[in-house]
Structure 1
Amino acid sequence: MKKISFLLIVLLSQIDKVNAQAPADRNVVMEFFQNMQYEDAITYLLATQKTDSLNLQTLGYLGYAYYMDDDMTNANKYYQKMLDIDSNNISANQYFSNFYNNSDPDKACIYTHRLINSNPQKAIYYRKMGDLLKRINQKDSAFVYYEQAFRLQPSDSKNGGALADLLIDQKNYERADSIIDAGLVRDSLNINFLRLRIRSSYEVGAYQNVIIPGEILIRLGVGSSTTFTQIVLSYYNLKLYSDCIRVCDILGEKGMAGESIFYYEAKSYAKLREFDKSNELLKTCLGLAISNTAEYYYHALGDNYEEMKQYKKAIAHYDTAYYLFKNPLMLYDCGRILDGNLKNVEAAKKYYTKYILLAKPASTDEKKAYEYIRRKYGRN
């Protein structure tokens, strides 16, 4: 069911500022709106508009009625007529700021800027401008507006959250944390501040500080896949593998576990030497995986089978990973097991030879391994 929107509230607040006497009976119009009789309201307003075609109140009522009747063409027409009469009209600029919010942020900025000029002490307009500028990747400019919104109304969690989020983007964790901490003092269950606390702590490697807000979000059953992954990874990086598994299981039960959650649960089981459970989860990952991540799961399965001394299965998974994703390191791993564990030098040589032809070693360890293999098996 449609509700009377913020546009109508703004419109009603402007009635006393209209100089001309409105031909429309406000009580009649409000009754139409409250009963959601927008077509009847339009018929009535079009008739009354004939007595004063430039009356801002009537034009605003018409714009709102058409908007609520899902007739954007006519809604735009009447709100534009209001701007033609008064370019700083609050309800019309509010309408177009919202109308272009998603489809044309640059255009929405024009109307939002007018709202700021007309209401320089209203924090919500500065935050709206910040949101628009951030969306078009003008983060330095967005910061200026978020800063002003926060100065005007620091107790509004939306202002603090928007500014803290951008401060984290700028790696200014100290100031971001001060805003987040103050917000959580006011409301310890604020979802956005809990999310930001997790993000800030995770990015600086303070994994222990992720745990408490993370457990709260898990208990509340809210959060994004990124946030949940940061919680799980924090337990994993703290080597709290049983807790990592516990959290992954909870997320799974709540239907909030994605590919990465199953992956780190599998890695945790591997760390606890429970390879069979790890492999089952990795196979689940493979069923969910998109092409650019499936390689990790095949490689992890290979690692597990190698730890279990099931070398042929390990080679099969490394070989599959190479076949699908063409990473030469998979060839090296196959050769390494054949050479070092299965003592099959001839088979190892085939993998190593192909590895030498295709490899582009980047890390120091890989360069050392490459040079060793090249000297031993390479063709001069």
Structure 2
Amino acid sequence: MKIRLCICLIIFGISTFIAQGIDKEKLLEYYESQRYADAAQYLQSIYPEDTKDIKALTQMAYCHMMSGKLQEAEKNYIKVNAAEPNNIPVLFSLANINSRRGNGTKAKTYLLNIIQLDSLNFNAYRQLAGFGDTPEARLAYLKKANILNRTDPDVAYDLSTAYRELKRYQQAYDVLKTAIDADEGNFTLQLAKLPLANQLGKYKEVIETGEKLMKEKADPNVINEMGQAYFYLKEYQKCAAVFKTLEDLGIQNEGTLYYMALSYRELKEYDKATEYAKKTIEEGISNHTALYYTALGGIYEQKEQFSNALEAYKRGLTFKNSNTIYYRLGLLYDFNLKQPRNAITYYNLYLKNKPDQDKEKEQIEYSRARITALTSKI
């Protein structure tokens, strides 16, 4: 519909060019085949570079914009805006061009001009939300747009997301519900509403909506929300079964495994509860946890908080045997804590953990030398 409307407007514009000797059929063919660069070049061949013809400038600006020549499009639209200020379609085009060129400040200025001219312009508020300097400003623009059109799905989704980030769950839910009532087949909005319904304790609604969505597509997010709802409804067998489907697909996480452990506990299937409790712990441990504790220990060492450094390093070893941690502990006991026996122990653990002979050649040689030196003093 929008394309047809644009073509109709273009045809109307072409009719004004006939007196200038423009080939109407040729220009129309360019538009209909979306050869906008050719259309712009053709118009430029007819009109002088310094033309002040508003309709010609507007047509050329549009063609340049549609062909991706944004700088040329902006130049022409600026000329039109100077000749005819406060032209809302031109201001929208300038905002669009600057947005596409990454100049958010200029785009926002043009949009603000629009709402000064038309305080009820829904599209201006909707686009301004994308240029909000703060979460509060973004929320204010989205609220205004939503008031002007409560059923627009994009605005409803964005406004709901903004409310959710602020933990204003009821408002987020209400915004989506209004938009969904106008379009019950909008599965994107239905999916966005599921976690909010769970948060608000509307568990039966989550199940009902989830079952409808699952008929369209087996979405892991839907399964996750349904599993939680089943748990809080105390339907533990269904909860475990739902989350088992995620595990079978290999997309389980710490949360889903945790709910399975609790469900099996409630079902008094203690062996399975134990199994999934262990899986939850394993899932919650990052492969990088030891690395993080190594960094923390190093920070404590630099602050000369050696007992804290020792605790951090040893905590890291509970997650993974680490050559780096063994070596750092050897140095820590050796030079800062002055405990040679412990230093020897960790230097030896470092060597036994098979460090890379090429990459860690210096550390290996140093560890051996320190073991020899410390042993001779004990």
Cα gap change, 1:282/1:260 in structure 2, threshold over 3 Å: closer, same or farther? closer
**Which piece of structure 1 moves more, 147-156 or 19-28?**
19-28
Q: Could you tell me which residue of structure 1 aligns to residue 238 of structure 2?
A: 243
1:35 shift after superposition? 1.2
Counterpart-to-counterpart distance in 2, 1:204 and 1:239: 16
Which of 177, 187, 210 is residue 214 of structure 1 equivalent to?
Answer: 210
- Report the TM-score when normalising by structure 1: 0.58
Q: Could you tell me which residue of structure 2 aligns to residue 9 of structure 1?
A: 6
Q: Could you tell me which residue of structure 2 aligns to residue 291 of structure 1?
A: 288
Cα gap change, 1:97/1:26 in structure 2, threshold over 3 Å: closer, same or farther? farther
Counterpart-to-counterpart distance in 2, 1:4 and 1:189: 23
**For 1:102-144, what per-residue CA distance to the aligned partner results, in whole angstroms no more than 9, with x for missing partners?**
73433321122223334433322222222331xx4x2333333
- Match of 2:128, as an amino acid? M
SS at structure 2 position matched to 1:321: coil
- Match of 1:166, as an amino acid? A
**For 1:79-112, what per-residue CA distance to the aligned partner results, in whole angstroms no more than 9, with x for missing partners?**
3333343443334432332344473433321122
- Counterparts in 2 of 1:1-380, with a 5 A limit? 9=6, 12=9, 23=20, 28-50=26-48, 53-101=51-99, 103-133=102-132, 136=133, 138-221=134-217, 229-248=224-243, 257=251, 259=253, 263=257, 267=261, 271=265, 272=269, 273-274=271-272, 278=276, 291=288, 320-321=318-319, 323=321
Answer whether contact 1:266 1:282 (CA < 8 A) is retained.
Answer: no
**For 1:258-310, what per-residue CA distance to the aligned partner results, in whole angstroms no more than 9, with x for missing partners?**
645764576468645337975997799599x6636999xxxxxxxxxxxxxxx
Gap regions ≥5 residues in structure 2: 293-315, 323-378
Cα gap change, 1:261/1:175 in structure 2, threshold over 3 Å: closer, same or farther? closer
**Which piece of structure 1 moves more, 123-132 or 154-163?**
154-163
**Which piece of structure 1 moves more, 51-60 or 262-271?**
262-271
Counterpart-to-counterpart distance in 2, 1:222 and 1:75: 45
Answer whether contact 1:98 1:108 (CA < 8 A) is retained.
Answer: yes
- Match of 1:9, as an amino acid? C
Q: Whose RCO is larger (CA < 8 A, sep 6+)?
A: 1
1:173 shift after superposition? 3.8
Query: How many pairs align?
Result: 293
Counterpart-to-counterpart distance in 2, 1:155 and 1:323: 56
- Report the TM-score when normalising by structure 2: 0.58
Gap regions ≥5 residues in structure 1: 296-317, 325-380
Cα gap change, 1:75/1:210 in structure 2, threshold over 3 Å: closer, same or farther? same
Which stretches of structure 1, 4 residues or more, deviate above 6 A after TM superposition? 3-6, 13-16, 19-22, 279-284
**For 1:25-68, what per-residue CA distance to the aligned partner results, in whole angstroms no more than 9, with x for missing partners?**
66543320211323321221111222871223322332332333
Q: Which has the larger radius of gyration?
A: 2
Counterpart-to-counterpart distance in 1, 2:11 and 2:138: 29
